[in-house]
Structure 1
Amino acid sequence: TGIRNLGLALPTDITRLNILLTHLHLDHIQGLVFFEPLFRSQAEIVIWGPASPQASLRDRIARYISAPLSPVEVRELPCDVSFRACPEELEIGSARITAAPVAHRGPTLGYRVEDVGAALAYIPDHEPALGADLEMLEPEWISGFGLAQGADLLIHDGQYADDEYAEHLGWGHSALSHSLTFAQRTEARRTVLFHHDPLHSDRWLDAHAERAAAAWQARGGAAGTVELAREGARYEVDPATGEFALAEEAVAGGVAEDTSVPAPITSVAGR
């Protein structure tokens, strides 16, 4: 749903857009029909996503963007929109993108985006510990390892506390210790824990953020390099160092609080 506010915040003179979908579960596509650039007649939008033997990407998304779930259908969108199964590697502008299947329910991709000397890994729905000991596995057997290895910013599933995981085994999401082990094994430079459980209150999440930071430092991790994703947070990369930093400004309520041009790699991470 965060894509709605992003669409409202994008300058109207941006006419070419690429959207990378990890998978088609409803919580990852329900904001599409409210993405304002889809209703700009001058916009050219390419939507990338996982291939499936069942149907094309367009047909699968059209099941949602159609009656009775949507007041408009794909064929009625004013923009020039196309749907493409994402290959293992592609280039969009100056960015090199790597896509690979990851452990989740149904066809699901994780992404690695490399540009201006920095790498961002985006694996929001991920259960790499399912039936495996992440501490002991060889790297080539760890789901998503190649995507996240040495990433300057890793945005990764961290839905559950450790004591919640047993009740959700096989649901496709990670417990805190799994997320931290994954970040440690891949040597990610900075990690943002994503895909918060909707049953967790903001107060619970604040306490969980403290637990995550303490657990990370207990593993020898640097302070301030593990945090929880926040609605509207924006991370900008320093091309000189490849380091991502949390920008002071945020995208909230559909309006960007600043009008500066974002860095080449900008990630909007939400709840």
Structure 2
Amino acid sequence: MKVRFWGTRGSLATPGKATLKYGGNTSCVQVIGDQGTMVVLDAGTGMREMSLNFPPGLKRVDVLLTHLHMDHIQGLGFFSPFYNRDMEVHLWGPRSTTQDLRGRLMRYLSPPLFPVHLRDLECRLFVHDASDADVQIGEFRVSSRMICHPGPTVGYRLVGPKGSLAYMPDHEPAIGATRLLPDRDWVSGAAVAKEVDLLIHDAQYTDEEYAARVGWGHSSMKQAMEFARMTEVRHLVPFHYDPTHGDEVLETMLKENIAAVNPAYPVTPAREGETMEVRG
């Protein structure tokens, strides 16, 4: 499978000179299977540009939403397949304790927040509540599990014929812990990430920032590396950068944390516009 990053930022889009290298759009990742299956992970501000670059003749796309915070859904109204009557679009995401995913999305895709109602979209739209049951989307077996972040929020695991990835852009593996417990059963998201070929994971804070934000549902870059080590992933991609962290700050964080953790796996920071090949 191929993975392309269209939005790498967390919380708020931050275009400008300070974010030219790693990007300023919010979370949006495109996954393309070897057999042509098209999956989109989250719908941040990078979604518009991504959808304008879809291959001609595409008939179906599946959008997997981790949660409904604004930085993960702001691109939905500008998703070009929504306005194409020949397209089949499947939206997946968590329901709340009181409302299904469709009802939750209707609160955003409707006036006064957006001029177009969800019910008026031209595509053939299917909305699915994410559950603990695995589903088959084209060539991918997709698992979703609740993880630690205000929301509710899910993490996704995609397994294809030749590779696997896990996606947890907003995740606090163990609230307030200075070290992760060795037993995976006690760590949020461990089953989602276990031994995947590529883990895309929250790396929003420095250790000092995290100490002042315990319980907010995010990780420090060091925690992301320790989580990757504990779950025995083969490659880590730090993601969901804080809006105050420009390119120079991110590179300093990366250098310092690699030196501190000494990971046995490669660490490649997500970079907007970059494509990665995932192979098992």
Q: Does TM-score exceed 0.5, indicating one fold?
A: yes
Query: What residue is the counterpart of 2:83 in the other structure?
Result: 39
**TM-score normalised by structure 1 residue count:** 0.83
The answer to whether the Cα contact below 8 Å between 1:212 and 1:226 also exists between their aligned partners in 2 is: no
Would you say how many aligned residue pairs link Structure 1 and Structure 2?
A: 235
The answer to whether the Cα contact below 8 Å between 1:209 and 1:227 also exists between their aligned partners in 2 is: no
Counterpart selection for 1:175 from 196, 220, 236:
220
Query: What residue is the counterpart of 1:65 in the other structure?
Result: 109
Structure 1 residue matching 2:196: 3-state secondary structure:
coil
CA distance in 1, matches of 2:273, 2:260: 25
2:148 paired with 1:103? yes
2:135 paired with 1:90? yes
CA distance in 2, matches of 1:71, 1:232: 29
* Counterparts in 2 of 1:9 and 1:216: CA distance versus 1, 3 Å: farther
CA distance in 1, matches of 2:103, 2:120: 14
2:159 paired with 1:123? no
> 1:133 Cα shift?
5.3
2:251 paired with 1:229? no
> 1:177 Cα shift?
2.0
**Alignment RMSD:** 1.4
The answer to whether the Cα contact below 8 Å between 2:64 and 2:93 also exists between their aligned partners in 1 is: yes
Code of the aligned partner of 1:15: K
Structure 2 residue matching 1:171: 3-state secondary structure:
coil
CA distance in 1, matches of 2:161, 2:277: 12
Structure 2 residue matching 1:198: 3-state secondary structure:
coil
2:122 paired with 1:78? yes
Code of the aligned partner of 1:36: S
Structure 2 residue matching 1:125: 3-state secondary structure:
coil
**TM-score normalised by structure 2 residue count:** 0.80
Counterpart selection for 1:214 from 222, 237, 259:
259
CA distance in 1, matches of 2:97, 2:174: 26
The answer to whether the Cα contact below 8 Å between 1:212 and 1:227 also exists between their aligned partners in 2 is: no
CA distance in 1, matches of 2:131, 2:217: 23
Matches within 5 A, 1:142-157: 142-157=187-202
The answer to whether the Cα contact below 8 Å between 1:98 and 1:113 also exists between their aligned partners in 2 is: yes
CA distance in 1, matches of 2:181, 2:52: 45
Deviation string for 1:63-85 (max 9, x for gaps)? 11111111211111111112110
Code of the aligned partner of 2:161: V
Code of the aligned partner of 1:200: H
Q: Runs of 5+ in structure 1 lacking a partner?
A: 243-271
Q: Kindly report structure 1 stretches of 4+ aligned residues shifted beyond 6 Å.
A: none
Query: What residue is the counterpart of 2:4 in the other structure?
Result: none
> 1:134 Cα shift?
4.2
Query: What residue is the counterpart of 1:264 in the other structure?
Result: none
Q: After superposing the two structures, state which structure 1 stretch, 162-171 or 129-138, moved more.
A: 129-138
Structure 2 residue matching 1:208: 3-state secondary structure:
helix
Q: Runs of 5+ in structure 2 lacking a partner?
A: 1-44
The answer to whether the Cα contact below 8 Å between 1:213 and 1:227 also exists between their aligned partners in 2 is: no
Which structure exhibits the higher relative contact order, with contacts defined as CA atoms closer than 8 Å and separated by 6 or more residues? Answer: 2
Structure 1 residue matching 2:212: 3-state secondary structure:
helix
CA distance in 2, matches of 1:148, 1:103: 14
Q: Percent identity?
A: 44
2:183 paired with 1:138? yes
Deviation string for 1:14-45 (max 9, x for gaps)? 11111111111111001111111111111110
Deviation string for 1:218-263 (max 9, x for gaps)? xx524xx11221112221224xxx2xxxxxxxxxxxxxxxxxxxxx
Code of the aligned partner of 2:191: G
